[in-house]
Amino acid sequence: MVYQASRERYQRMQYERCGRSGVQLPAISLGLWHNFGSVDSFENMKALLFRSFDLGITHFDLANNYGPVPGSAEENFGRILRQEMGSYRDEMLISTKAGYTMWEGPYGDWGSKKYLVSSLDQSLKRMGLEYVDIFYHHRPDPHTPLEETMAALDLIVRQGKALYVGISNYNAEQTAQAVEILNKLGTPLLIHQFRYSMFDRWVEGGLQDVLQEAGAGSIAFSPLAQGLLTERYLKGIPTDSRAGKPNTFLRSENVTEDVLQKVQALHALAQERGQNLAQMALSWVLREGRVTSALIGASRVEQIEENVTALEKRTFTEDELRIIDSILC
């Protein structure tokens, strides 16, 4: 049976304006970094996308190298669009990125115009799309002039291959420079995607101020600190967790006894708030309206349902915020 979206989907989600643009993002967006590769269950991918959309998640975030193998997440997403969800394309915001290694040779990495334009062309073919809604430069390139990278983003919009552009992993100074260049070109920065969680607050050191002044929105990836801010780590490191596996961003040596004690203390506060730890962590990222959307990943439908429920309690008392700061210090 062909997928039919829930008629109540827009009643279940909160939407936030992305900076000063006309775009509204769902407060919770779905990232396809994990669990959408060639090694994963295709039926589970469909279940994750269908349930997300039924809950009002309209923004789906990809990158050229998501997999494994690189490119397979875009291929699988495109296959699901063609087979099941194509009639809802205009209700979706689809984003992809380029900036990390994608193919061999000098033109398959970083931020040259050659790489960015070629990579997006490949992404569009994999997904079967004429355009994406947002195209990001995935990381700063120390070897390519910023003017060239931003000119590539401007060109891509003028070619009709993307409606908006974003950047990811740029610091405050780099972001301010990118904003200035893009404004002169006439293609303003829509959004910045950065890593942000209770355990990783680097963006509070000036980046958020730059974005606010520029009128750009933001989306936080890894708001659950790669699963650390969930109940899975209350009793240590599970063997099947990301920290328990090699070659992951969350390394076991970083999950110290001190970190685990903080996780337990945060869990206790979450229970007092009537939330679990993951829900409180998402509420915290979205707490002051300075983050437009929190980007989640999921391996099970239940995780998406649980995370969306976090929106029911997005506010914190001053006492709760003080307690959180005292735990994290």
Alpha-carbon distances of 145 from 140, 188, 233, rounded to whole Å: 10, 18, 43
Tell me whether residue 114 is in a domain: yes
Q: What is the pLDDT of residue 236?
A: 65
Report the mean per-residue pLDDT for the chain.
95
Dig out the tokens for 99 from the structure.
């900036």
Number of domains in the chain: 1
Torsion, CA 97, CA 211, CA 298, CA 283, rounded to 10: 180
Write out residues in the chain with pLDDT < 70, as ranges. Answer: 236-252
SS3 221: strand
Tell me whether residue 217 is in a domain: yes
Query: How many Å from the N-terminal Cα to the C-terminal Cα in the chain?
Result: 52
Cross-strand pairs, 218: 192
Tell me whether residue 318 is in a domain: no
Give residue for tokens 């967006």: 29
The C-alpha atoms of residue 214 and residue 72 are separated, in whole angstroms, by 35
pTM: 0.94
Tell me whether residue 188 is in a domain: yes
Q: What is the pLDDT of residue 184?
A: 98
Tell me whether residue 297 is in a domain: yes
Q: What is the pLDDT of residue 240?
A: 55
Tell me whether residue 93 is in a domain: yes
Q: What is the pLDDT of residue 246?
A: 46
Question: Taking Cα atoms as reference points, which of 60, 67, 47 lies closest to residue 302?
Answer: 47
Q: Please, are residues 181 and 146 in contact by the beta-carbon 8 Å criterion? A: yes
Q: What is the pLDDT of residue 95?
A: 99
Q: What is the pLDDT of residue 251?
A: 56
Range of the domain at 14: 9-231+282-313
Q: What is the pLDDT of residue 244?
A: 45
Give residue for tokens 């006492």: 319
Tell me whether residue 249 is in a domain: no
Q: What is the pLDDT of residue 245?
A: 44
Instruction: Indicate which CATH number applies to the domain containing 29.
Output: 3.20.20.100
Tell me whether residue 211 is in a domain: yes
Strands (E), 130-265: 132-137, 162-168, 189-195, 217-221
Q: What is the pLDDT of residue 238?
A: 65
Q: Residue 250: which residues within 8 A CB-CB, separation 6 or more?
A: 225, 226, 227, 228, 241, 242, 243
